[in-house]
Amino acid sequence: MNQTQSLLIIGFVWPEPNSSAAGGRMMQLISLFQEQGFQVTFASPAQDSDFMVDLSQYKVEKKSIALNSSSFDTFVKELNPTIVLFDRFMIEEQFGWRVAKNCPNALRILDTEDLHCLRLARQKAFKEKREFQTTDLLVEEVAKREIASILRSDLSLMISEFEIELLKTTFKIDSSLLYYLPLLLESDQIPDLEKLPSFENRKDFIFIGNFLHEPNWNAVQYLKEAIWPLIKKELPEAVLNIYGAYPSQKVLQLNNLKEGFLIKGRAENANEVVLKARIVLAPLRFGAGIKGKLLEAMQCRTPSITTSIGAESMQADLSWNGFVEDNLEIFAKKAVELYQDKKLWLAAQINGIAIIEKRYLRSSFEVDFEERVEFTLNNLQQHRLNNFMGELLQHHTLKSTMYMSKWIETKNKNSN
């Protein structure tokens, strides 16, 4: 690609690769586009955080922007990016119409992370103690916003094949608007087995996950109340280390030395703590997307036990690196079994590496991704003509959102 082409990423937050899989995913996208020859600018209306990555170290220009401000129009017009990448649908809602108005020829890409409406509809069904149905999505308020955002975008990056099928069947989204790009690993990110701690040199169970993410907090509660007591009964000396960024006071209060249930908070190096553990536990009861914690477990060759929600869209027809179990008694029983049985544990390790090699290696995706981006850029006019519903939504959004945003901007000026 032409070296002078530029990419503007508008972030919901500044990337924190050590805090969440979403932060790691964003750094992967930056790297993929840089390899295609793009100069990258990362803009966000978010406040700086203590754990954000130093973008200048990655040759990325950092720009703070404001919500509901025409200053963004001036900025984006001057930058005149070839591609604009929106980090989640909420950012496309805020800035998509401004990009469409000021840079009509820029390719607009949405990175969904996971399907928010699916996660929220499942969460609602769980709290109402009923089975989730795909028809729940049709009445989910967020679905209306998220699907509109997908339709307005030229291309949406999806990390889950299950979610792609859902969009195509339930919402009738054309496959030309969707692109499967999961979390990726470099081949050199998979350490040699000989260099890793052995079965005998590993101990304890581990859970890891950002506590700002509701499915993670729920899973920790589930472990504390129902699963861990069953495991502890069979393995009295066992310890469960709970790691995660942004633990609240209610999370910290679960710490109990006597029960071997230890809240450790943020891990300085997630890989390091997962490498030392013998088993990863991830009893997720709702959620969406694919789970960075489980891919990381495979990368560290640490077997895991999760639920069908946890493993969704991750393994295809390959064997899991441990067990996938929704029944809590069997979940606990399998955890004990895997913790004690070296032969079973070693077989699980091998399964995890097979999943990575067949489904998550960057080398399997980067060429096809570059070709898809280039093809869409070169055929943008026809691509948009084929997406009439998207153009219709863009037309009405431009009118309604534009006037609402201008009203907010005027109101803000008058109140200062």
- DSSP code string of 274-336: HHH-SEEEE--SS--S--HHHHHHHHTT--EEE-HHHHTTTSTTSPPSEEE--SHHHHHHHHH
Helix (H, G, I), strand (E, B) or coil at 415: helix
Question: Is 82 contained in some domain?
Answer: yes
User: Do 246 and 294 lie in a common domain?
Assistant: yes
pLDDT confidence band for 394 (50 / 70 / 90): confident
| pLDDT average, residue stretch 284-289 | 96
Output the six-digit token pair for 306. 């999760």
User: Do 106 and 248 lie in a common domain?
Assistant: no
User: Do 154 and 27 lie in a common domain?
Assistant: yes
User: Do 17 and 137 lie in a common domain?
Assistant: yes
User: Do 246 and 298 lie in a common domain?
Assistant: yes
> What is the separation, in whole angstroms, between the first and last Cα of the chain?
46
Burial class (CB in 10 A: 0-12, 13-18, 19+), 351: middle
Question: Is 220 contained in some domain?
Answer: yes
DSSP 256: B
Question: Is 406 contained in some domain?
Answer: yes
User: Do 87 and 160 lie in a common domain?
Assistant: yes
Per residue in 35-44, pLDDT (tens digit) is 999 999 999 9
Helix (H, G, I), strand (E, B) or coil at 206: strand
Question: If residue 345 lies in a helix (H) or strand (E), which one and from where to where?
Answer: helix 342-359
Q: What is the number of structural domains in the chain?
A: 2
User: Do 328 and 284 lie in a common domain?
Assistant: yes
Per residue in 307-327, pLDDT (tens digit) is 999 999 999 999 999 999 999
User: Do 128 and 246 lie in a common domain?
Assistant: no
Distance CA 377, CA 394 (A): 18
Number of Cβ within 10 Å of residue 163's Cβ equals 23
Residue 2 scores a pLDDT above 50: no
User: Do 339 and 388 lie in a common domain?
Assistant: no
Closest CA to 316 of 167, 180, 162, 165: 162
User: Do 339 and 225 lie in a common domain?
Assistant: yes
User: Do 13 and 125 lie in a common domain?
Assistant: yes
Residue that is last in its domain, among 316, 338, 360: 360
Residue that is last in its domain, among 344, 360, 376: 360
CATH number of the structural domain spanning residue 31: 3.40.50.2000
Closest CA to 311 of 288, 330, 278, 335: 288
Question: 297, 321 in Cβ contact below 8 A?
Answer: yes
Percent of the chain past pLDDT 70, that is, above it, reads 96
- Global pTM reads 0.93
Residue that is last in its domain, among 314, 334, 360: 360
Q: Alpha carbon of 94 to those of 72, 82, 91: distances in Å?
A: 11, 19, 5
Per residue in 329-354, pLDDT (tens digit) is 999 999 999 999 999 999 999 999 99
Per residue in 5-25, pLDDT (tens digit) is 999 999 999 999 888 888 999
Question: Is 403 contained in some domain?
Answer: yes
Distance CA 245, CA 223 (A): 18
Question: Is 186 contained in some domain?
Answer: no
Distance CA 326, CA 285 (A): 8
Output the six-digit token pair for 76. 């984006």
Give the model's pLDDT for residue 140. Answer: 93
Question: Is 319 contained in some domain?
Answer: yes
Question: Is 1 contained in some domain?
Answer: no
Residue 368 scores a pLDDT above 60: yes
User: Do 373 and 350 lie in a common domain?
Assistant: no
Question: Is 90 contained in some domain?
Answer: yes
Domain span at 352: 191-360
Q: Alpha-carbon torsion 356, 189, 247, 27, what sign?
A: negative
Output the six-digit token pair for 24. 């790691």
Output the six-digit token pair for 299. 């990368």
